[in-house]
Amino acid sequence: MQNTPLFYTFNFYLFGIIAIVSAIVFVTRKSPVAAALWLVNTMFSLAAMYVMLDAPFIGVIQVLVYAGAIMVVFLFVIMLLNLGHPSEIADIRNQRWRLIAGFVGLAMLAEIFVLTRANSVPDLTLARDAAANSVIESGAVGTVATSLFTTYLLPFEITSVLLLAAIVGAVMIGKQRSANAR
Amino acid sequence: MLAEALFFSAVLFTIGVIGVLTRRNAIIIFMCVELMLNAVNLTFVAFSRAYGPSGQIFVFFSMTVAAAEAAVGLAIIISLFRHKQTVNLQHINILKG
């Protein structure tokens, strides 16, 4: 575990820069579909940053809920309202872009292999702080679950009411009125 | 890494604000709001690293609220689209006197 801080720090910066670049590309895209997919990229980078900040459970939830569920609902609505331009959805980039993508993938793979095996200079390694120690002690889920089900039990239960209200509200607002109801 | 996390968070939040102010598509504006929520979540996680897991709990709740907000907001956008056949906010001015 000695060499993890270098790995963590480097990847934190890397994914932070990726997140900001994808966010800038996201606000400048014309097509809503392209914008949504760039936002998914930002969310994935943020999930990686959460893991680097010793919050692996939040990172997993970020991928599952934000990148997996919320953005799929966004894309679903964009497609439902027929806002995406078909030419921009279906295109496959040319040879040059495929080579660049493959190169980026290989570079990131190599970076992970090198950094997990590297022995960093002892002066560069940071002291493991409270969050990292609690992750080591009680596991990624245990860190969150312990306080979620003791100190924050009431807010947790109220959340279920909120979700129920959101489900009912979304169905009621989005429901197509039938012809005889008018 | 706390200072860097706060820097990244501020930049992402600013990008979200710029998106809300410059775009006219209601769905894209909504996605910019999600980006701003994410930027704040990053701040919470960064602080929870130093001050215990309460920040992570707050991120958990804010994600739940964001999911509920996305469901209801998109339902509103769909019903708005049914009325006006557009999601361009320039053409949605029925409250204008």
Q: Count CB-CB contacts under 10 A for residue A118.
A: 11
**Short-list A73, A2, A13, CA closest to A39:** A73
pLDDT band of A136, cuts 50, 70, 90? confident
Please indicate if any CB of chain A lies within 8 Å of the CB of B20.
no
pLDDT digits (tens, 9 = 90+) for A103-127: 888 988 888 778 777 766 555 555 5
Show the domain range for B27. Answer: 2-84
Cβ-based neighbours of A38, under 8 Å, separated by 6 or more: A22, A23, A25, A26, A29
pLDDT band of A180, cuts 50, 70, 90? low
Q: Count CB-CB contacts under 10 A for residue B43.
A: 19
Total number of domains in chain B: 1
Predicted complex ipTM: 0.91
Mean residue pLDDT of chain A comes to 82
β-partners of residue B88 are: B25
- Residue A90 clears pLDDT 60, i.e. is over it: no
pTM: 0.82
C-alpha B55/C-alpha B47 separation (Å) is 7
pLDDT at B45: 92
Cβ atoms of residues B20 and B33 within 8 Å? yes
C-alpha A79/C-alpha B27 separation (Å) is 11
Instruction: Name the token pair of A139.
Output: 């596991």
Q: Which of A9, A24, A27, A30 to mutate to test the interface with B (most CBs of B within 10 A)?
A: A27
pLDDT digits (tens, 9 = 90+) for A45-89: 999 999 988 888 999 999 999 888 999 999 988 888 877 665 555
Q: What's the CATH number where B23 sits?
A: 1.10.287.3510
C-alpha A35/C-alpha A29 separation (Å) is 5
Cβ atoms of residues A27 and B32 within 8 Å? yes
Q: Rounded to a whole number, what is the distance in Å from the CA of B91 to chain A's nearest CA?
A: 16
Domains of chain A: 4-128 (1.20.120.1200)
Integer-rounded Cα radius of gyration of chain A: 21
CB contact under 8 A, B68 and A57: no
Chain B residue whose CA is closest to A126 = B1
CB contact under 8 A, B74 and A74: yes
**Short-list B80, B65, B33, CA closest to A165:** B65
CB contact under 8 A, A61 and B60: yes
Window B:62-81, CB contacts with A under 8 Å: 63-72, 74-79, 81
Q: Count CB-CB contacts under 10 A for residue A60.
A: 15
* Residue B60 maps to a domain: yes
Cβ atoms of residues B83 and B36 within 8 Å? no
Region A11-15: mean pLDDT is: 91
- Residue A93 clears pLDDT 80, i.e. is over it: no
pLDDT at A125: 53
pLDDT digits (tens, 9 = 90+) for B34-77: 999 999 999 999 988 878 888 899 999 999 999 999 999 999 99
* Residue B92 maps to a domain: no
Q: Measure CB to CB from residue A159 to each of B52, B61, B69 and give the nearest one.
A: B61
Instruction: Name the token pair of B60.
Output: 């958990």
pLDDT at A130: 60
pLDDT at A1: 40
- Residue A179 clears pLDDT 70, i.e. is over it: no
pLDDT at A139: 77
Cβ atoms of residues B49 and A129 within 8 Å? yes
* Residue B97 maps to a domain: no
Cβ-based neighbours of A165, under 8 Å, separated by 6 or more: B68
